[in-house]
Amino acid sequence: MRFANLLCGLLVLMCSCASNDNPFSYGNDTHSRGNMTIYVEESFKPLFDTSINTFEGQYPKAKIKALFAAEGEIIAAFFKDSTKTICISRDFTKEEKATLKKNKVEVRSDKIAEDAIALILNPSNPDSLMTIQQIKDIIIGKTVNWPGSKIKINVVFDKQNSANFNYLKKLCDLKKLPINLFAMNSNEEVINYVKKNKSALGIIGLNWISDSDDFETLGFVDGINVVAIAKDDKSAYFKPHAGYIFTREYPFFREIWLINKAKKSGVNTGFVLFMKGEKGQLIVQKSALVPATAPVRLIQLITE
């Protein structure tokens, strides 16, 4: 009898450990509680710092560990099963999806926003208006000196295999790294380098400088100029503001994708749904990026 009572007590204790008081035990996670790890392309760090803090504030029993890395490293980690949820600048290719399907891995891809590649200069550099072709000529090394100052151009970006570098590689059909292109370690390092060097052309993700209400962002913006870009020398110049990204008048736009292979009932999926939903899309909009589902307000000013 005593043994039966003891066994019954142990069962009650085990059930309570897996209850709402201890939601991480025995895999008992839901959309709003549990542990998860997400790999995020470093270009999108400011957006995800805010989004994760908001999600955890709304759901205190959910804990998200974000690892920020280059896009190539993130994709490799996903295929090695080091993580079940990632954020990169594109959806998987047909070949990548075919490989996953062959291994019986169900993957769900969701576009959550659009951002852009931003080009930044030291404030002393007068060459702040460029066409796409002028930018290509600089990146491939055809143009080696700034037209305005005649000093040598140094192009700096975060790191090889990043979303920023992959964008440049595709834009200019790069087969190898030109001698005037230098990799740093992060978008933040690129910004700081440009602030100190008159010769630099920095390539960063717009998200690092887009949110004008964020004090940290204001610190990044102070001391740099953002290049306005035209499609050709007969077109108007545009800076990477959300409205111009939405209308495609700013040419260097790209997408932000969440790719998830975790179970549909777990916290990984809950976070993806949060980012796709109203609150997540409002965070995207507040960050001065283009939401995937929420409307973008376009305001036209007419001077008389």
Tell me the per-residue pLDDT of 112-151, one tens digit each, with 9 for 90 and over.
999 999 999 999 999 999 999 999 999 999 999 999 889 9
> Higher pLDDT residue, 36 or 216?
36
Q: How far apart are CA 66 and CA 86, in angstroms?
A: 9
> Higher pLDDT residue, 10 or 154?
154
Q: How far apart are CA 101 and CA 107, in angstroms?
A: 8
Architecture of domain 27-114+255-291: 3-Layer(aba) Sandwich (3.40)
pLDDT over 80 at 3, yes or no? no
- Measured in whole angstroms, how far is the alpha carbon of residue 111 from the centre of its chain? 12
Architecture of domain 115-253: 3-Layer(aba) Sandwich (3.40)
Task: For residue 250, give both structure tokens.
Answer: 């700013």
Per-residue pLDDT reduced to its tens digit, 264-299:
999 999 999 999 999 999 999 999 999 999 665 555
Q: How far apart are CA 134 and CA 123, in angstroms?
A: 19
pLDDT over 70 at 245, yes or no? yes
Per-residue pLDDT reduced to its tens digit, 156-209:
999 999 999 999 999 999 988 888 899 999 999 999 999 999 999 999 999 999
Name the band, by pLDDT with cuts 50, 70 and 90, for residue 10.
very low
| pTM of the predicted model as reported, rounded to 2 decimal places | 0.86
Delimit the domains of the chain by residue range.
27-114+255-291, 115-253
Decide whether 27-114+255-291 matches 115-253 in CATH topology: yes
